[in-house]
């Protein structure tokens, strides 16, 4: 996104909607975003995913605090 990172967008939206659930998606299987967000505990769906992988991570991602 040209205006802000995904992490910044999540922060802005969570300030307005604290219970918002999110899922990072990246077009690369092992990107810097992937590593950074996994370290923060954010769910990340790497590039070239299947419908089954999307369903799995959506069901197992932690609920918003």
Range with the largest mean pLDDT of 8-12, 23-27, 40-44, 50-54:
50-54
Domain ranges of the chain: 6-60
* pLDDT of 27 above 80: no
Nearest to 47, CA basis, from 25, 64, 20, 22:
25
Determine the pLDDT at residue 51.
92
Cα(40)–Cα(30) distance, rounded to whole angstroms?
A: 16
Instruction: Please state at what angle helix 32-40 crosses helix 6-16, rounded to 10 degrees.
Output: 40
The mean pLDDT value for 25-46 works out to 68
Q: What is the pTM of this model?
A: 0.59
CB contact set of 61 (below 8 Å; sequence gap of 6+):
21, 23, 43
The mean pLDDT value for 12-38 works out to 76
* pLDDT of 28 above 70: no
């Amino acid at each position: 996104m040209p205006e802000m990172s995904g992490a910044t967008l999540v922060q802005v939206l969570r300030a307005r909607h604290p219970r918002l659930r999110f899922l990072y998606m990246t077009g690369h299987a092992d990107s810097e975003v992937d590593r950074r967000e996994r370290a923060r505990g954010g769910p990340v769906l790497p590039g070239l995913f299947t419908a089954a992988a999307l369903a799995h991570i959506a069901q197992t991602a932690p609920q918003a605090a």
